[in-house]
């Protein structure tokens, strides 16, 4: 039978794992946003209108796929794989 302290420690360790995972997710989401915006700035002409979309072929795993980039507002882009 486990002691109360062991059960409390397990609970606290689980809470810490959740906190660490949330922080890692936040960092990953920030990196994704930064990468999307960098890709948009790199590939979309500065003269593009807001909500204008561009599709660009990119190689991934020895296959070519379309990336769709939408200019949402200045320096803000949505990027996704386009189902061709």
* pLDDT tens digit at each of 84 positions of the chain: 999 999 999 999 999 999 999 999 999 999 999 999 999 999 999 899 999 999 999 998 898 999 999 999 988 999 999 875
- Two tokens, residue 73: 């507002």
Q: Which pLDDT does position 39 carry in this prediction?
A: 95
Q: Which pLDDT does position 34 carry in this prediction?
A: 96
Phi, psi dihedral angles at 54 (to 5 degrees): -130, 140
- Two tokens, residue 32: 């994704």
**Through-space distance between the first and last CA atoms of the chain, rounded to whole angstroms:** 59
The rounded distance, in Å, linking the Cα atoms of 32 and 22 is 15
Secondary structure (3-state) at 51: coil
Q: Which pLDDT does position 83 carry in this prediction?
A: 73
Q: Which pLDDT does position 84 carry in this prediction?
A: 58
Q: Which pLDDT does position 27 carry in this prediction?
A: 98
């Amino acid at each position: 039978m486990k002691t109360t302290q062991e059960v409390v420690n397990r609970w606290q360790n689980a809470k810490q794992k959740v906190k660490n995972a949330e922080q890692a997710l936040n960092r990953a989401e920030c990196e994704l946003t930064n990468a999307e915006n960098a890709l948009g700035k790199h590939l979309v002409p500065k003269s593009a209108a807001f909500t204008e979309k561009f599709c660009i072929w990119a190689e991934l795993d020895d296959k070519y796929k379309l990336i769709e980039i939408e200019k949402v507002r200045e320096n803000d882009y949505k990027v996704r794989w386009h189902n061709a």
